[in-house]
Amino acid sequence: MHPAAPPRRLVAALAGISCLLLPLLGHLPKAYAAADADEAAIDSIRAAGGDIVVSVGGWSGDKLGEKCTSAAAPAGAYQKVINAYHLKALDIDIEDTEFSKATVRQRVVDALKIVKNANPGLVTYVTTGTTPTGPDATGKDLIERGAVTKIVVQYKG
């Protein structure tokens, strides 16, 4: 990116990180880091006044909230990504089975609370599926769980 170009936000997807792969996350940024060209692009974006937001999760693959048995495990995985990329913002994409099961939704909310407590300035986005008129009952339940837990996130449905 040309230094005079307006800042952009690069969204890097790290979908499919599962609790089965958590031991490998200790090798970040080597195991899951961007290639040299991507690191150069990230550095260029930051040098121009922009920043990146990493999106974790998604529709396919193993879900941290589902595969992990405690909130601490996905929180630890999110923290390793935050540390590896020196993030100021993180997008958690909660979909499919991670979204549809109440106990899993709560585990994700609890993991986000751990992350927010460890990183008070971190902007956290939650992306979910939604209907044309807004969140359905499951989405509203997720929002309510976050409110009860007193975490502040930016909801993107």
Which residues are annotated as catalytic? 95
Amino acid at 38: D
Instruction: Tell me which residue has tokens 């997720």.
Output: 142
Residue 99, Cβ density class (10 Å: 0-12 exposed, 13-18 middle, ≥19 buried):
buried
- Tell me if residue 20 falls in helix, strand or coil: helix
Torsion 104-110-112-118 (CA) sign = negative
